[in-house]
Amino acid sequence: MKSITLTVIFEGHALNRDEKIAGNILSIKKLTYLSKELSYISRPAMRHYLFNTLLKAYPDSWKEAGVVLQGSGDKKVVQLDIIKDDIFTSAELDAFGYMYTVSGGSSITRKAPVGITKAVSLIPYNNDMQFNANHDLVKRALVQGINATPDPNQREEHMSFFKVSFTIDAKFLGQDVWVVEGYDYSGQSLIIKGLQKSFEYIEEVGKDEFIIYKIQGTAKLELGRISFYPVGKKYKMVMTLDKEIKKERIRQILEAIKDGLVAHSGGEDNTIIPLFLIAAPVKVPSPVFHPYIHLELGEDKPKVIGLSDCFRNSWLEDKVYVYVSERFKACLEPYKEKVYASWEDFLIGCGFLKKEGEEENASASS
For residue range 169-225, what is the model confidence (pLDDT) as tens digits?
999 999 999 999 999 998 889 999 988 899 999 999 999 999 999 988 888 899 999
Residues composing the chain: 366
Rounded-to-integer distance, Cα 62 and Cα 248, Å: 11
Cβ-Cβ contacts under 8 Å for 271 (sequence gap 6 or more): 260, 261, 262, 263
Residue 229 pLDDT level (bands cut at 50, 70, 90): very high
Residue 34 pLDDT level (bands cut at 50, 70, 90): very high
Over range 16-41, report the average pLDDT: 78
Rounded-to-integer distance, Cα 362 and Cα 308, Å: 40
22 pLDDT exceeds 50? yes
Over range 133-149, report the average pLDDT: 84
Over range 216-243, report the average pLDDT: 94
Residue 210 domain flag: no
Asked if 109 contacts 101 with a C-beta cutoff of 8 angstroms, the reply is no
Rounded-to-integer distance, Cα 253 and Cα 62, Å: 11
Rounded-to-integer distance, Cα 69 and Cα 352, Å: 37
- Amino acid 105: pLDDT: 67
- Amino acid 232: pLDDT: 93
How many distinct structural domains can be found in the chain?
1
Residue 249 domain flag: yes
20 pLDDT exceeds 80? no
Residue 130 domain flag: yes
Helix (H) or strand (E) holding 282: strand 274-282
Looking at the DSSP bridge assignments, the partners of residue 179 are: 236
Residue 193 domain flag: no
- Amino acid 186: pLDDT: 86
- Percent of the chain beyond pLDDT 90? 70
Residue 102 domain flag: yes
- Output phi, psi for 139, to 5 deg: -60, -40
- Secondary structure E strands in 22-150: 25-28, 30-33, 36-41, 67-70, 77-80, 98-101, 107-110, 114-116, 119-121, 128-132
- Amino acid 363: pLDDT: 46
Least confident of 132-136, 250-254, 288-292: 132-136
Residue 236 domain flag: no
Over range 7-30, report the average pLDDT: 76
pTM: 0.90
Residue 228 domain flag: no
Residue 276 domain flag: yes
- Output phi, psi for 258, to 5 deg: -65, -45
Residue 354 pLDDT level (bands cut at 50, 70, 90): confident
Residue 247: which domain range?
3-172+243-350
364 pLDDT exceeds 50? no
For 12, half-sphere exposure in the C-beta direction (CA atoms, 13 angstrom radius) is 34
Least confident of 32-36, 99-103, 178-182, 199-203: 99-103
Over range 93-103, report the average pLDDT: 92
- Amino acid 355: pLDDT: 82
How high does pLDDT run on average in the chain?
90
- Amino acid 365: pLDDT: 46
Over range 139-154, report the average pLDDT: 83
84 pLDDT exceeds 90? yes
Least confident of 117-126, 173-182, 253-262, 265-274: 265-274
Which strand ranges, in their side-by-side order, compose the sheet holding 17-21? 17-21, 25-28, 153-157, 128-132
3-state helix, strand, coil in the chain (%, to 5): 20, 45, 35
Give the residue, 134 or 58, on which the prediction is more confident.
58
Please tell me whether residue 180 adopts helix, strand or coil conformation: strand
What interhelical angle do 243-259 and 343-350 show, nearest 10?
150
Rounded-to-integer distance, Cα 293 and Cα 310, Å: 8
For 303, half-sphere exposure in the C-beta direction (CA atoms, 13 angstrom radius) is 9
131 pLDDT exceeds 80? no
- Amino acid 298: pLDDT: 82
Least confident of 52-56, 104-108, 218-222: 104-108
- Output phi, psi for 156, to 5 deg: -70, 145
Burial string for 348-361 (b: 16+ CB within 10 Å, else e) reads bbbebbeeeeeeee
**Cα Rg of the chain (Å, integer):** 25
- Percent of the chain beyond pLDDT 70? 94
